[in-house]
Amino acid sequence: MAESGPAQERLNVTVRIIARSMVAEVCSIYLRRDTGELELFATEGLNPDAVHQTRLKPGEGLVGEVARSAAPLNLSDAPTHPGFSYRPETGEDPFHAFLGVPLLRGGRTIGVLVVQNRASRAYTEEEVEDLQIIAMVLAELVAAGELIESAELRDVEIAPHRPERLKGLKFADGLAIGIAILHEAPVAPGRILADDPEAEMVRLQAAVAALRAQIDALLEGHERFAGAPYEVLETYRMFAHDRGWNRNLEEAVRSGLSAEAAVDRVRNEHRARFAQARDPYIRERLHDLEDLANRLLRILAGEKPGDRDLPDDTVLVARNLGPADLLEYPREKLRGLLLEEGSAASHAAIVARALQIPCVGRLTGLRDRLSEGDPVFVDGESGEAFLRPRPAAIESFRSRMAVREQARAEFDALRETKAVTVDGVRISLLMNAGLAVDLDNLATTGAEGIGLFRTEFQFMVSEDLPRLDRQTDLYRRVLDAAGDLPVTFRTLDLGGDKVLPYLEIEREENPALGWRAVRMGLDRPALLRLQLRALLAAAHGRELRVMFPLIATVDEYRAAREMVDVEVDWARRRGRPLPAILRVGAMVEAPSLLWHLDALLPLTDFISVGTNDLFQYTFAADRTNPRVSDRYDPLSPPALRCLAAIQQAAQETGTPVSVCGEMAGRPLEAMTLIALGFTRLSSPPAGIGPVKRMVLSCDREAARRGVSNLLTSSSGSVRTQLESLARKLNVAV
């Protein structure tokens, strides 16, 4: 393959080698043209004059069947198969045994590799597997232009060119349109053994020093990433200075490996150690180590950061990405980020949100479905990617971006306007947050406070349990940034899909219904009491609002509230500063509480409805699972009756109540909540502007009458009726 020479000559050598290796009389390669036809490109054993002359129509013959099914076809007597097509120019009459496997690229067949024998026989499973492996390598070589120059392939369809739409998960909000640029990881080292181990040790140490200098340079100027984003970068820096990692690298070089091979071996050892981990946060550490190893290999190869000439509208495409790699790309050219893997809590996603780069992840098969230079959309609103969109789609997407910009300008103009309905009902609009960088949105959105501050992010990005002073410092900075605005801290909501790498937790059959949230805090009281102690210390003469997540029984709330009282007594006895006002509440997320609100509410200072969990538990459908997430609509009679019951109970007992799920940030859903009597809504920052515009156009009493008529509906969803109601009342949803 590495030899020079005409493409046809190298293809001829290729089929000759495969035929000899497979002990076959015939080996042929067919490649798909953009017309869908399969052209014979090279053969050993058939008539050589048929090369580039024989073309099979889509689905024609056994080769066409392999291409159609994208699966191997193994026959002991090919001429008797109903799909057999006789092409006299190939001279294949005497051959009975047939094995064809597809050349797959991005889930599409770009060609077919065939071996044949005169004798009537069935190829073994091992032979089928061997040929599939060869076909996989051939497909990569053809698609990469390493086997044949692209110009020589002419109109062979080696790359996807049709528009595609991939559904993933939203990691960072926003819309972007640009050119796909592939973030390529370096290949495995070519030189394995060291000629001079001492010289390799010098190379390795110099590369590690350069790596550390690179990371230090990348982190300069990013101190503004307070909280989780900055801790992510600091953790990454710590990996580069980790003595164990460096010691393993040096030991590998002393064993006789080249510096590159040593990095590769240590990387593989880490892969083996972490590969079996189910915990996504442990796997995230693997991504950091992979990123460091890739960066070190690039340094050893003499590559420098910033060598690539990028377009001004770059959309970065990667399987996964380390936080430092993301920072290495010029922010002014980076429009969006598309990832095959990752999670919303991955380090790349956290940094992307801090940089306000739209990001969509969990796009299966993304890397194989596009080529560098393809136009792409990043839809951070719906969690989708659009590859090679048609001109009409491009125009539509640009219109969406323009509308988004126009709406943002409109929302900015409403920033200082109070949210009051047409009939004079005051609505409080607060925001959800979890990172210190989110606090900048208080001023830009006009939010009236933080209705939900998720405290677990600090724990998830740390290598060990954050100590009292670190927790206190974060909570103090949050309260300082909020000033006179209220902040409601939710205690640790861990477990389920949010597991700490430094806590040993047994695997559960159903973690979403298992040991999580307040249950973990009650069973590990030191963990919860440490957090409560930090919150009390951070408040220091100010109001402190604390609420406990996933309370399922009144006894759980009593036990959690008792821990607060114990910590208050502990601080008071030692003369420690305390909050001027302390309010303790519960999140209503477990359906069990719906029938015990009369016992719970008198014990609380406030409650908050977590609609995300409440409805997924009510309907027994995981909202993050695309196979079942559409099995219910929060705008359905059962869901609305749940909400009405909570609001009514809170009103009767005089308990302040808010809604802090995603419903609160969507105008139509927020209109429904206001109609049900809720006046305090906490949403993601992006939802505050649209909801405020809706509030200003809404007559609550008229909406209440319309919604009350729908509570007894027998429909599975009343979304359509609510949309009609909004149009009738001229509500801006």
- CB of 685 closer than 8 Å to CB of 449: no
Given the residues 347, 359, 642, 698, select the one marked as catalytic. 347
pLDDT (0 to 100) of residue 560: 95
How far lies 441's CA from each of 432, 486, 621, 622, 694, in Å?
A: 10, 14, 32, 29, 20
Quick one: tokens of 684?
Answer: 């993601």
pLDDT (0 to 100) of residue 624: 63
Distance of alpha carbon 43 from the chain centroid: 45
Given the residues 27, 359, 660, 698, select the one marked as catalytic. 660
Fill in the DSSP letter of residue 455: T
Which uninterrupted H or E stretch holds 403? helix 391-413
> Which CATH superfamily includes the segment(s) 414-427+611-659+661-733?
Phosphoenolpyruvate-binding domains (3.20.20.60)
- Compute the distance between CA of residue 714 and CA of residue 29 in angstroms, rounded to an integer: 61
Neighbours of 208 (CB within 10 A): 22
What are the b/e assignments for 435-468, b being 16+ CB within 10 Å?
Answer: bbbbbbbbeebbbbbbbbbbbbbbbbbbeeebee
pLDDT (0 to 100) of residue 514: 75
- CB of 577 closer than 8 Å to CB of 541: yes
- Compute the distance between CA of residue 535 and CA of residue 455 in angstroms, rounded to an integer: 10
The per-residue DSSP string of 404-453 comes to HHHHHHHHHHTTTS--B-TT--B-EEEEEE-SGGGGGHHHHHT-SSEEEE
SS3 of 503-551 = CCCCCCCCHHHCCCCHHHHHHCHHHHHHHHHHHHHHHCCCEEEEEECCC
Q: Minimal CA–CA distance to 628: which of 611, 614, 616?
A: 616
Told to judge if 347 belongs to the known catalytic residues of this protein, a careful annotator would answer yes
> Which CATH superfamily includes the segment(s) 7-153?
GAF domain (3.30.450.40)
Q: How do beta strands 428-433 and 334-339 pair? A: unpaired
> Which CATH superfamily includes the segment(s) 449-596?
Phosphoenolpyruvate-binding domains (3.20.20.60)
- Domain borders along the chain are 7-153, 165-387, 414-427+611-659+661-733, 449-596
Question: Do 7-153 and 165-387 share a fold?
Answer: no
- Compute the distance between CA of residue 11 and CA of residue 313 in angstroms, rounded to an integer: 38
pLDDT (0 to 100) of residue 60: 86
Neighbours of 429 (CB within 10 A): 25
Coil vs helix vs strand at 19: helix
- Compute the distance between CA of residue 217 and CA of residue 184 in angstroms, rounded to an integer: 22
How far lies 462's CA from each of 106, 454, 469, 476, 571, in Å?
A: 37, 15, 14, 18, 27
Told to judge if 287 belongs to the known catalytic residues of this protein, a careful annotator would answer no
- Compute the distance between CA of residue 200 and CA of residue 194 in angstroms, rounded to an integer: 7
Q: Minimal CA–CA distance to 658: which of 677, 637, 641, 675?
A: 677
243-281 tens-digit pLDDT: 778 888 888 888 888 888 888 777 776 665 555 555 555
SS3 of 306-351 = CCCCCCCCEEEEECCCCHHHHHHCCCCCEEEEEECCCCCCCHHHHH
Q: In the chain, which stretches have pLDDT less than 50?
A: 152, 502
Residues 6+ apart with CB under 8 A from 93: 79, 86
- CB of 56 closer than 8 Å to CB of 66: no
pLDDT (0 to 100) of residue 129: 83
Phi, psi of 92 (to 5 degrees): -100, 15
Coil vs helix vs strand at 42: strand
Q: Minimal CA–CA distance to 28: which of 91, 112, 131, 134?
A: 112
170-179 tens-digit pLDDT: 888 889 999 9
Coil vs helix vs strand at 241: coil
Q: How do beta strands 38-44 and 55-56 pair? A: antiparallel
User: What is 165-387's CATH topology?
Assistant: Enzyme I; Chain A, domain 2 (1.10.274)
